[in-house]
Structure 1
Amino acid sequence: MVPFQTVERRGFKAMIRAIDPRYEVPSRKYVTETEMPKLYAKLREKVEKELCDLKYFATTTDLWSSRTMEPFLSLTIHYITDDWNLGSRCFSEHTAEEIAQGLKEALESWGFKEERQVCITTDNGSNVVKAASLNDWTRLQCFGHRLHLAIEKSVKDPRINRAVALCKKIVSSFSHSWKRRKALKKAQAEHNLPLHRLITETPTRWGSRQMMIQRVLGQEKALSQVLKADRKTRHLVPTWQDTDVLESISKTLGPLLEFTAALSGEQYVSVSYIKPVLQLFNNTVLAPADDDTELTKDMKRVILEYLNEKYSDPETVDLLDMASLVDPRFKDAYIADDRKDFMKTRAVAEIQSLLEVQAATVTEPHTSTEVAADGAAAAEVAVESQSKRVKRSLGSFFKKASDGTAALADRKAIEVEIKSYLQTMQKYLCIPATSAPSERAFSYGGNIVTCHWSLLKPETVDKLVFLIVELEESIKTSEEESKELQSQEEEAVTTLKIYNMNSERLQRNLESAKEENILLQESNTQLSEQMEGWVERVSELEEEMRRCEAAHSMMQQDVDTKDHRIKYLTDRLLGMKAWESDLEHEEEGERDASNGDENERHLQKVQKLIYAAKLNADLKSMDEDKDRMFAKLNDEIQAKEELKQGIKGLENERSSLQTQAEHYTEQVQRLQQKLLIMTEMYQENELKLHRLLTVEEKERLQKEEKLNKADKNISLAMEELDNYRQQAENMEEELEKTKQSYQTQISAHEKKAHNNWLAARSAERDLADIRRENALLRQKLTDTQFKLDTIDKDPYALDSLARPLPFRGERSPYGPSPLGRPSSETRPFLSPPTLMEGPCSRLSPRVPRAPPEPLAGGREMERSGGPHSDGSNSPTWERDRRGPPAPLGSLGPPGVCV
């Protein structure tokens, strides 16, 4: 987003003038007072028309502050259309002076009634919660905020704080050094790790800490290698304790990140997922495992206790149970057993109330009391039957098993049984589980109320946010439409290719069909010739059959005659057998009667044998003739059957060939018709595609021109980039050189500073010696002056000065004695005025004038601070290094008076 004053800037005007000199840039006043209100009114009218028929809706709201610390209130409504599409609209960015009244005014300004609002989803801000309670609205707490707060509560541990702080330092060290980032890429390539950049934690972004930890754990080898190579960052290498803590955090919070992202969507139902997700947390995701560490178990326990506590109030439980109940995917699967009957009864009552409202709006009121009474009685009966029907329908609905498809897609299966149930679904399934849609408006508002736009009025901010959201939606829809058009265009191109391939294939098939038709015609002529030959042969075979039938009849007659002869012979044989039996009886009788002539008997036997042999030979020949006749007869019968079968086969083949010829002729005709139709369609499609291709060719040429220009710009940009890279390399080289020169200069300066420091130390020592000598001389001078003053007053006072004065300590009421041992506090601050203080003792006039004894060395050592003290404030080891001070004898004894 750019401010309105952009249209008045010289650079912008020069750019527009370079693009198109004919275009006149509108003024800032025209944009703010004419064009923007006009566009806002147009889009608002469009949105109001789309949302005028909504029966139920839910809302989300949140607060944010601009750069000028002015609070704003965002309001987003969520609804399900009659086409069962889940939609959302961001309406308001009003000032939040009075939140409750502001929410009511926002709904009234768009023509929405509070009665149709099902629920409002907010975060846990006390002001928003209080506003919802003042308006007496049903409120659902944002699942994302609750989960985020539960996670924040679970990570309040010193070990976690230390490990997370270490991660932040690692990320910060790489984000502020391009050399480390370059070394990290090299290390990632060496360890075959993905070339991912480190992620920084953002406090206002859910899950950013977890993503940072996962990225650090994933790149641990490369990070350790780079950090160990630098002396300044070796202390940032994670220890095994830090790694264990980070792995415990990642194991606990890793699965929760997916649930946060899944429940923040706007294009699908999310409120009915809260109960299944909570049950999944308790049973699987956050359930304690055997391989969990103590830290992991503690984190899981804290998160579960917090979520279960926050989602256990009765109002929230009733709302979530009803949302889960009306969802065809879940139904009563995630409702407690002791609440299933209660929720079903509530659902029946709600559906029945909806039906009563619909019936009340449809029926007209009756005027007469009798008709009203009859109508009331009928209405009671209707309500009773209606409630029974609803219960029956709900019972059959709950017995059905869900197939796991989308919640809104199952409406067709329900619509036949319960039409009013769909309104209940529209009522509860439009509620969002999180307030993320309203929070997304913060980015729009933050991009608008920048440092250049900090003086915008709240009404203007409201309009701009609405325009941005709606224009982005229209851009998304136009992009989707363009994608659909591109897909349709691609489908048209593919269909054209398929059509060309099919036409070519049909052409080939037609040519092959023509060739097959020619071959079939040739085969038909060949078959007709063969059929004529077969007809001639059939006629010949029929003649042969006639001859065979005649021969068969003659042979049948011969067989009959031979059968007759065989019967005759058999009768004769039977008679002969009877004769033999009679002869045997006669022989027995002759034997009994007399013994006849044996020769005659032998002759008779021989004759009988000869007759029997002839008879057997005749029978054998008759049998052989009979077998030959039967064999010939069987051969003729088989040949006749074979001829009949051949004739039948030829007739079948002829009929099949005729049917095939008819089929092929019909197919050729159909192919010709199809060919004509396809040629016409091909010509039409060719014209259409030619037009489309011409348009596409123009567009392609335009795109190629744009791409060429873009390539030129890219080449120029690449050249500039190469130049910049070369300049950067040169600057890096110069930087290295300057760094080396500065390092050499720094080392020289350090040496010089060290020498100067040594010279300063020696100068300090010399100064201390000079001060000490000056102090001694000053003391001598004061002593001498004191003695002179004393002599001037009393010439005989030198006698008393010859004796050592008594030691006066630091407790003298007149202050420290000039001849006494100074204390540790007053020793460095001795001065002539202090030495002159204190009363003077009376000097004896008998004492001769003589120089006093020099002070003992011990007293001087005590005054100077020890045998190795030189009067300076330097340490003892420094004074020892310099050696003992010069003897005081060279300066002369103190107190010498001339």
Structure 2
Amino acid sequence: DTGDKDKQENDTASDVVLIESNEARPADEIQQGQDTEINISEEDLKIITGPAIIWQFYIRLDKTRAKCKARDAIRSTPTGTTTTLQDHLKKHHGRFKEFQRLSQLKKNFQNNAKGKKKETNTIKKCFVNKLYMYSKSARAIAITHQIALWICLNLHPHSVVDEEEFIKLVELLEPRYKVPYRTTFSRSVISKLYLKLKSIAADYLNLIKRKLESISLTTDLWTSNTAKDSYIGLTAQFIDTNWDLIKLSVECDHFPGIHDGQAILKKVENLCEEQLGLKENDLDQPTVYITADNGSNMAAALSQPSIRKQNDPKVAAVLKKKDGGITFSKGNGCQNCDKVQNLAVRYARSKTARECLERFQQEHNLPRHEIIFYCETRWNSEYLTLARFLEQKAAITSELAFACEENLPVQDWRMVEGFVQVLKPIFENTAPLGSSKEVTFSTVIPVLNEITTSLHEFIRKAPKGSGILFARKLLAKVEERFPHESYAENEFYQIGMIIDPRFKDLLVSSYENDRTGHLLLESKALDKYREHIRRGIIVPNDAEGPPLPVQSSASKSTGTVGSVKKARFSQIARLTKDRTETSIATTDTMARITAEVEAYLATPTIDEDKDPLEWWRENAEKFPMLLPVAKHYLGLAPTEVDSERVFSVGGNTCTKKRSNLLPDHLKEIIYIHENYNSLMMLAKKYNLK
């Protein structure tokens, strides 16, 4: 009896909810929610349930143009809008009337479908519907902002906000919040976030640019595999006033047209001026370096003369060849690499072979690692592929024997072992060159020296038949691409190495009693001192000139007395006095620089895994004259890997399902993805808005 009574009370409450819900709704809305039948022909039903009705009268030519089926007129559709198409259709009364009929039919059909799916309102739902958050309230803006960040930082498509389950999730977390449409995110929310980050970056650069010693740029070109749009990437890195290595993605901009040297140079110069504020003939700006790959168009862009380079000697173009290693080919002595590649393909395609390999991995107590597939564009892919094969040698041999497949001969396995020994030093030394968090420019000479030394040692000690021919050809290729006189004997790389407390003794010890390292460091320190005077960072008594010999006390006394006796020579006396003071200041400066260089080179080196920027931060007060040199060279980028990383983000964003993503939207997503965390940290640190 008690159960029946509770059931009756629940039924009564349900009736009350239904009654109150209907009372809270307008009469026309209740009528609209009722099922109504609409007579639609099969042909019309196919049209109204398909793409936009306007495309029944036009043919889409590309993303921005459409052709009228009746008059063959071509109309533009910027950003995907169809307003221009409808305006043109109004000129043809009959076709426009048909368009209106189909549009009204589609609207009635959709309203009828919504009415069928509409659930009965409850008091709770009616209450919630009346309390939707104002879209411009602080909490609504915060939620919208966080969704936009989630889209950009995790590379989700804009359409995710229109998915039914996503909307249900948001309603569960915050019933009062209404998710904006995807077009609101793509055209407004994300664009505003992009412009905000741009403003923070501009304010930050304007704040510290005058205090920087150098800015290192990297650039590269990329073409999307899906949309086939071309882009140019530009990144910047430098050491700020707090000895932090700052890296920013300047832009991944749409770059249509011809990609010759002149076009690339003009595009890079425009990006430098628009995004970084690096203007021509600006003596206050730091030295700018550009790092690119060794492509013919890049080489032509950074080697041809331009007004900017001629008028601004501080702008230098540094062409760096990729240190990614030498690709495999039979000419390099790697005849059995095709066999290894074929086996890798077998394990990639055959599920049975992979499962059998996993069983033998467990039997031989080997790590359950996947076989690495060789990729020509991935750095050190050759070494990673062969090293993984050598690691899984026992499991691979057992699996091939079990499957009655041909195994590699003993001689080929010996060759694989030799190749791994040859390529291991290259892998261990070139990987840090592409580091995104560490100082890398100072490692160029040590890396090349380590690679050539290890190859010489292998050729001298390795037994025959273990890859000596491959090692010799690899050594010849390395020496050809990185000649000794262009790197180890180049002052540009020498000063970058000697100013790093990890490697400073390498240059000093290589010259024994020669003072080449001392003189080089003293010269660069004096150059930076004069540059600071020219840029107005330091203000001595007078403009700095070349070092002049100090005058004797008799000469100074005679000049001073003469100037007092003869008023008409007062200007000459003042000039003589100023030049004498400048000479004394220059001599004092050189003495300070020499003392600091001697003290710096006498300090013990630090371990290779230590951070040189941290060392300079702790010893800044001891070497004030050498600080500008350290900031200038330790912040440079030896490779263009940073630009390649930007393009990896672009490739993960512009997938096959997002082939219609506009270049401007892709640019905004990449910029937010790459810079949001670092720029927010800088904004908090420097109180930027």
Q: Give the TM-score normalised by structure 1.
A: 0.48
Work out whether residues 87 and 266 of structure 1, in 8 Å CA contact, stay in contact via their aligned partners in 2: no
The residue type equivalent to 2:334 in the other structure is I
The residue type equivalent to 1:113 in the other structure is L
- Which structure has the larger Rg? 1
Q: What is aligned with 2:613? A: 408
CA deviation after TM superposition for structure 1 residue 100, in Å: 0.8
Q: What is aligned with 1:665? A: none
Question: What SS does the corresponding residue of 1:420 show, helix, strand or coil?
Answer: coil
Q: What is aligned with 2:666? A: 461
Deviation sequence 1:735-786 (CA, Å, 0-9, x none) = xxxxxxxxxxxxxxxxxxxxxxxxxxxxxxxxxxxxxxxxxxxxxxxxxxxx
Q: What is aligned with 1:862? A: none
Distance 1:99 1:191, change over 3 A: same
- Find 1:399's aligned residue among 590, 597, 602: 602
**Are 2:236 and 1:77 equivalent residues in the alignment?**
yes
Question: What SS does the corresponding residue of 2:644 show, helix, strand or coil?
Answer: helix
**Are 2:258 and 1:87 equivalent residues in the alignment?**
no
CA deviation after TM superposition for structure 1 residue 326, in Å: 1.5
Work out whether residues 86 and 266 of structure 1, in 8 Å CA contact, stay in contact via their aligned partners in 2: no
Q: Give the TM-score normalised by structure 2.
A: 0.62
Distance 1:315 1:377, change over 3 A: farther
- Identity fraction in percent: 22
Work out whether residues 355 and 420 of structure 1, in 8 Å CA contact, stay in contact via their aligned partners in 2: no
Q: What is aligned with 1:447? A: 652
CA deviation after TM superposition for structure 1 residue 460, in Å: 2.8
CA deviation after TM superposition for structure 1 residue 430, in Å: 0.3
- Find 1:319's aligned residue among 483, 489, 492: 492
- Find 2:593's aligned residue among 390, 405, 409: 390
How far apart, in 2, do the equivalents of 1:100 and 1:125 lie?
A: 14
CA deviation after TM superposition for structure 1 residue 181, in Å: 1.8
**Are 2:416 and 1:246 equivalent residues in the alignment?**
yes
Question: What SS does the corresponding residue of 2:248 show, helix, strand or coil?
Answer: strand
Work out whether residues 429 and 451 of structure 2, in 8 Å CA contact, stay in contact via their aligned partners in 1: no
Matches within 5 A, 1:683-698: none
The residue type equivalent to 1:244 in the other structure is R
CA deviation after TM superposition for structure 1 residue 24, in Å: 0.9
Q: What is aligned with 1:747? A: none
Matches within 5 A, 1:646-725: none
Work out whether residues 425 and 450 of structure 2, in 8 Å CA contact, stay in contact via their aligned partners in 1: no
Question: What SS does the corresponding residue of 2:252 show, helix, strand or coil?
Answer: strand
Question: What SS does the corresponding residue of 2:323 show, helix, strand or coil?
Answer: helix
Work out whether residues 415 and 465 of structure 2, in 8 Å CA contact, stay in contact via their aligned partners in 1: no
- Find 1:296's aligned residue among 467, 484, 487: 467
CA deviation after TM superposition for structure 1 residue 120, in Å: 2.1
Work out whether residues 200 and 212 of structure 1, in 8 Å CA contact, stay in contact via their aligned partners in 2: yes
Q: What is aligned with 2:478? A: 307
Distance 1:474 1:95, change over 3 A: closer
CA deviation after TM superposition for structure 1 residue 204, in Å: 1.6
Distance 1:37 1:224, change over 3 A: same
- Find 1:146's aligned residue among 305, 319, 323: 323
The residue type equivalent to 1:340 in the other structure is G
Q: What is aligned with 1:216? A: 389
Question: What SS does the corresponding residue of 2:416 show, helix, strand or coil?
Answer: helix
How far apart, in 1, do the equivalents of 2:584 and 2:682 lie?
A: 50
Q: What is aligned with 1:697? A: none
The residue type equivalent to 1:446 in the other structure is G
How far apart, in 2, do the equivalents of 1:376 and 1:33 lie?
A: 63
Q: What is aligned with 2:623? A: 418
How far apart, in 1, do the equivalents of 2:632 and 2:375 lie?
A: 36
Q: What is aligned with 1:362? A: 539
How far apart, in 1, do the equivalents of 2:271 and 2:235 lie?
A: 10
The residue type equivalent to 1:222 in the other structure is A
Distance 1:453 1:401, change over 3 A: same
Q: What is aligned with 2:301? A: 131
CA deviation after TM superposition for structure 1 residue 117, in Å: 3.6
Deviation sequence 1:504-550 (CA, Å, 0-9, x none) = xxxxxxxxxxxxxxxxxxxxxxxxxxxxxxxxxxxxxxxxxxxxxxx
Q: What is aligned with 1:3? A: 157
**Are 2:444 and 1:274 equivalent residues in the alignment?**
yes
Farther off after superposition, 404-413 or 64-73: 404-413
Matches within 5 A, 1:254-265: 254-265=424-435
Question: What SS does the corresponding residue of 2:467 show, helix, strand or coil?
Answer: helix
Name stretches of at least 5 consecutive residues in structure 1 with no aligned partner. 479-898
How far apart, in 2, do the equivalents of 1:203 and 1:168 lie?
A: 12
Deviation sequence 1:206-244 (CA, Å, 0-9, x none) = 12222221222222222222222224xx13x11112212
Work out whether residues 352 and 390 of structure 1, in 8 Å CA contact, stay in contact via their aligned partners in 2: no
Distance 1:370 1:33, change over 3 A: farther
Deviation sequence 1:365-399 (CA, Å, 0-9, x none) = 89988655533332232112322332232223223
Distance 1:477 1:340, change over 3 A: closer
Question: What SS does the corresponding residue of 2:371 show, helix, strand or coil?
Answer: coil
Distance 1:118 1:474, change over 3 A: closer
How far apart, in 1, do the equivalents of 2:573 and 2:340 lie?
A: 83
Matches within 5 A, 1:424-823: 424-471=629-676, 473=678
Distance 1:241 1:314, change over 3 A: closer
- Find 1:38's aligned residue among 170, 174, 192: 192
Distance 1:32 1:4, change over 3 A: same
Q: What is aligned with 1:545? A: none
How far apart, in 1, do the equivalents of 2:491 and 2:480 lie?
A: 15
How far apart, in 1, do the equivalents of 2:343 and 2:439 lie?
A: 40
Q: Report 1 or 2 for greater relative contact order, CA contacts < 8 Å, sequence distance ≥ 6.
A: 2
How far apart, in 1, do the equivalents of 2:367 and 2:392 lie?
A: 8
The residue type equivalent to 2:275 in the other structure is W
How far apart, in 2, do the equivalents of 1:160 and 1:356 lie?
A: 57
Work out whether residues 266 and 432 of structure 1, in 8 Å CA contact, stay in contact via their aligned partners in 2: no
CA deviation after TM superposition for structure 1 residue 82, in Å: 1.5
Q: What is aligned with 1:230? A: 403
Q: What is aligned with 1:658? A: none
Farther off after superposition, 11-20 or 163-172: 11-20
CA deviation after TM superposition for structure 1 residue 60, in Å: 1.4
Q: What is aligned with 2:340? A: 167
